[in-house]
Amino acid sequence: MLSFSTAGWAASTVVYRCLDSHLGVVYTDVPCKDGAPFDVRPGEADPVAVAKLERLRDALDQSAAQRMIDERHLAGQKELLAAQVRREASDGRNGEDMLADGAYAYPIAGYAPRPYPPRRQAIRRTAPQGGAPNPPYVVPRPPYVVPRP
Burial call 105-121: b when 16+ CB within 10 Å, e when fewer = eeeeeeeeeeeeeeeee
Q: Are residues 39 and 52 in the same domain?
A: no
Q: Are residues 52 and 36 in the same domain?
A: no
The span from the CA of 141 to the CA of 8, in Å, is 101
Looking at the domain assignment, is residue 146 inside a domain? no
In which domain, by residue range, is 14 found?
1-43
Instruction: Give how many domains the chain has, as a whole number.
Output: 2
Looking at the domain assignment, is residue 111 inside a domain? no
Cis amide linkage into residue 136, ω under 30° from 0: yes
Q: Are residues 39 and 56 in the same domain?
A: no
Looking at the domain assignment, is residue 8 inside a domain? yes
Quick: pLDDT tens for 21-75.
888 888 888 888 888 887 777 788 899 999 999 999 999 999 999 999 999 999 9
Q: Are residues 50 and 36 in the same domain?
A: no
Q: What pLDDT is recorded for position 19?
A: 87
Looking at the domain assignment, is residue 30 inside a domain? yes
The span from the CA of 1 to the CA of 124, in Å, is 78
Looking at the domain assignment, is residue 79 inside a domain? yes
The span from the CA of 124 to the CA of 120, in Å, is 12
Q: Are residues 50 and 62 in the same domain?
A: yes
pTM of the complete model beyond 0.85: no
Average pLDDT for 87-108: 59
Under 8 Å between Cβ of 14 and 29: yes
Looking at the domain assignment, is residue 130 inside a domain? no
Average pLDDT for 74-102: 74
